[in-house]
Structure formats: structure tokens, C-alpha cells
Amino acid sequence: MFAWAVHAAGLHKSHLLSYLITLMLVQLLWMLWYVCRSYTQRRLIQEKDTHAGARWLRCGITLFAVITLIMDSFKIGYFIGFSNCLSATEGIFPVTHAVHTLLQVYFLWCHAKDIIQSFKTLERFGVIHSVFTNLLLWTNGVLTESKHQLNEHKERLIMLGFGNITIVLDDHAPQCNCSTTTLCSIFSQGIYYLYPFNIEYHILASTMLYVLWKNIGRKVEHHQQHKIPFKFHGITIGTIFGLTVLTSTIAIVVVYLIQIGRSKIKSELALTMFYIYAISVLTLMCTAGIVALLIYRLEDRSLDNSKNPARKLDADLLVGTASGSWLLSWGSILAIICAQDHPQYTWYNLPYSILVIIEKYIQNLFIIESIHQEQEKVNDDIKTLRIVTISRENTLSLTPSFKEIYNGTVDADSGELPCLFNGNVKESSSNGSLEEDKSQVFSPVIHSTSDFSLYSSNSVANNKRRILKNIAAFLFLCNLSLWIPPAFGCRPVYDNGLEEIVFGFEPWIIVVNLAMPFSIFYRMHSAASLFEVSCKT
């Protein structure tokens, strides 16, 4: 793959695709063997990792897989149009990839939670082979998409008249005419708009398979795992603000892509617009993250430090992938400091780069602390109200339950009305009757001071939980918003030109091409982690 990227002599794209096809076929054979063996042993009790392969995670990978299948169909159509001059491997690859995608999604839906205890050597080979096959397919997608983005960037530089930079287009266009020109153009453009989803699909699949590999031979601690449902109730404010950011992001990206490269003035205005927007969003995200961390500091809750491969991988990926954008941000800061000429828009780049570093640090702390929080146990005194009734016969009895009273299932005409005496039943006097007055007989539920303090503390806890859920929902939508610009070609690190002048065109482009995929993945992985935090809080 690296040799093809640097145009090594004697190596063609067909060689690379043949290699990837072989890897996918090996994985397909192993998955078929595993699925068939699991089906024959379906009656045996098999341990499961309840933390791995959450339903929302499998739904997400299914969505990315569907878009990947659409991309494969576009590639097949593109191959048919240029079949006269394209290698047969370029037609076989998307077909194999589509079959691989279908079986892999089925495999992850059915077996992502498995804890394998038999045939460990063969299973370890198959799972780790699957992990690295997906990583190589991810790298191939990143490489192809980066070449396309670099070509577009070079074309913009040529249009803007940068004659001091040696520009050679990396052209891999077929050397023949398409049988249906319009369709080929649609397929060619559509493929590159769908690549971001294909890239996310493969990296997500590799992480799920890695957790499966780590679980091989693992001894599970048997404890009850509560299902974590997603509830929209209570996160309205965070969702509204997040959707506002998301809508603004789409508008900003559309305007940016239209204006950039048209002229020098329009390009500078587009860069300024993007930096101001990004500074505003990052400032809001930093503020929200700090508030969430302060709430955690005020709470006295212990952390869950039990062994959990999925949770450890989440934390490692957050820190590891954040280093990509940190590298780009520090490069921009050094370029601004060392540059001799400073166009006006570069001064917006400085606070933007600093905020990227700070925001990811704060967000990582919030997410890692959230996924390590122990589930809060509800106090029994909150669950059950101690309610007693006084009947017309002056006898004291317990009511059926608070839920029945609340739902109106207790007959009001029976003469029994709920009454609470400091959470305890009053003792009878010597004559066997209760000390009472008429006002108490027909009085409503009366709560004791201890109950009011109990409800007050419960109300404070609920308010904190609601704030945290809104912050998680807001940050979730903000991370989706910040995933969109670099994934779809809005990349100021390419277009502002300052870093290329300071570091040189080729060194800076190499740094960008290495760091950008991690930066893009960080946003999608953060969004997935924040969704889990929102459900768990």
C-alpha cells in the first residue's frame, strides 16, 4: 500500500486490490466457519460480555455498512463504464467488498458479545486477522480519499496562481472514454462523498472485533448488568442547542466549499468565516465540559475500576486519536509564530488551534470519567413511601402501595384515606385506640421532615443528572457537527497556505495526511462515547 502511494516502479493498483481481495476472502472463510460452528453449538450455554457490542453501536455500524454498499454499487457502475481500460480487479474488488460487508455486519450483530473459550488458537488468528483486514481497508480508503482531497487542493492552488510551489497532480483517471459519460461522472463524484462513511465503518468494525479478540479465554465477573435505554425526555435544551450547531455547520461547509478557491479574497473570507464559527462552537463545548467536570467534582461517587476491555479501548482511542489534531494544532501555532507575513485570517487560526487542544483535553476528561462512574443506586426510602391509613373504625392499616394510590386503584369511598405520621405507625394507647383528632382522619398525606430532606436531596441529584444529560446531548451533536467539515473536504489546514510556506509543501502535506484521519475518527468516536454517556447518566 505504501509502495503504491509513493508510485514505486512495477507496482500497480491491481496488485494492491488483489492483495486486499485475498485478505477479505480469508476473513470470509473464517467467519463462515465460525458462524456454522456456533449454529451447531447453539444449545450450549456460552458466556457473553454485556458491555461489548451495544445495540446502538451495532445500529451505527449497520448504517455505515448500508452507505458502504451504495459506494460499492457506484464502484461497480464506474467499472462497467470504463471496463475497456480498467483491470478486472477493479470490478472484482467492490463485489468482494460488498459480500464481506454483508457477512461481517451479520457476524458482529450475532457474535460481538461472545467470549470464546474453545479453539483459542484458531479463533485468535481469525479475529486478529479480521481486525487488521479492516484496518488495511480503512487505510486504503483514507489513502484514496486523501489523494482525491490533495488533487482538489492542488487545483485550487493552481487557480490561485501559487507558482512558487511545485505542483504535480496525482492523476489516476482511466485512459479511455466512458460508455455513459453522465453516469460515470455521477459515480466518480458520488464515490468520494461516500468515502467518509466507508472509512468510519471499517474503523468501527475493527474496534468491535478487537474487543472480541481481547475477550477470548476471559473469565467473566458475573454480576447483573442493567440495560441502559435511551430516553429523549429531559435533554430538550441540549438537543436544541446541538441541532442549531449542526444546522449552522452544514450551512458553513456549503458556503466554504463554494467560495474556497474562487479567488484570493473569497478564499480568505471563507477561511475567516470558518475560524469564527469554529471558535464559537469550541468555546461553548469547553464551557459545557467544564460545567460537567465541576458537577462530578461536587458529587461523592466512586469509580468503577473493574476489568472491561470495551471501556479501556474507548479511553485509549480517545487519547490516541486526539493526538492527530493536537499535532496539527501545534503545527499551526508554530507556523503563526515563525511566519514573517501574517494575513488577517491567520490571527483567527491562533485561538482556533489553542481551543482545539483545550477542548479535546476537557472532553476526554469528561467522557473517561463518565464511563467509569458507577451506576447510582436508588435509596430504598425513595423507592417506597411509608403510608398508613386510618379507618372509620379507628384502626390503623397499611395501604396497598403508593403506586396503587397514585393510579387511583384504591377506592376513595371505602373510608380509607392515606395519612403519614413521620414515616412511622403511632402506637396505641392503654384503651387500645389511637391518639387522633378529626382533622387527622380526613387529612391528606403528611410528610415528615426527614422525608422532605430525602426528596430535596433526590431533587438536587435529578437536576444534576438532567444537566449532565443535556451536556452530553449537546456535545454529541457538536462532535457530529465537527466531524462533517474535514470528512467532506472543508480543511483549512490545507487551504490557509501559512503552514505550507513555513514548513514546506510536501512535509506539511505528509503531516496532514497522517494526522487528519485520526482527527476525523476522534470526532465520530467521541460522538459514540457521548451517546453512551447520555444513556448511562
Amino acid identity, position 370: S
Alpha-carbon span 320 to 2, nearest angstrom = 22
Coil vs helix vs strand at 338: helix
What pLDDT score was predicted for residue 167?
A: 54
Q: Please state, in angstroms and rounded to a whole number, the distance separating the CA atoms of residues 384 and 406.
A: 13
Whole-number pLDDT of residue 221: 62
List of the chain residues with pLDDT < 70: 42-46, 49-51, 53, 119, 157-173, 218, 220-234, 300-306, 374-458, 460-461, 537
Q: Grid coordinates representing 108?
A: 458482529
So what's the pLDDT on residue 44? 63
The predicted structure's pLDDT at residue 439: 44
Residue 505: name the closest of 153, 113, 82, 18 by CA. 153
Give me the torsion for CA of 65, 70, 76, 79, rounded to 10°: -110
127-144 tens-digit pLDDT: 999 999 999 999 998 888
Q: Cell 474535514 belongs to which residue? A: 486
Cβ density class 300-309: b for 16+ within 10 Å, e for less? eeeeeeeebb
- Please state, as a whole number, how many other Cβ atoms lie within 10 Å of the Cβ of residue 174: 17
CB neighbours (10 Å) of residue 376? 11
What would the 3-class secondary structure string for 12-63 be? CHHHHHHHHHHHHHHHHHHHHHHHHHHHHCCCCCCCECCCCCCHHHHHHHHH
CA 323, 324, 329 angle in degrees (round to 5)? 90
**pTM: predicted TM-score of the whole model, two decimal places:** 0.72
Q: Which three cell numbers stand for residue 61?
A: 455500524
Rounded CA gap, 297 and 278, in Å? 28
373 beta partners? 303
Locus of grid cell 490571527? 347
- Provide the residue ranges of all domains of the chain, joining segments of one domain with +: 11-166+175-220, 232-374+459-536
pLDDT recorded at residue 255: 92
Q: What pLDDT shows up at residue 420?
A: 42
Please enumerate in sequence order all residues whose Cβ is within 8 A of that of 147, keeping only pairs 6 or more positions apart, or say none.
5, 170, 172
Q: Across-strand partners of 389?
A: 397, 418
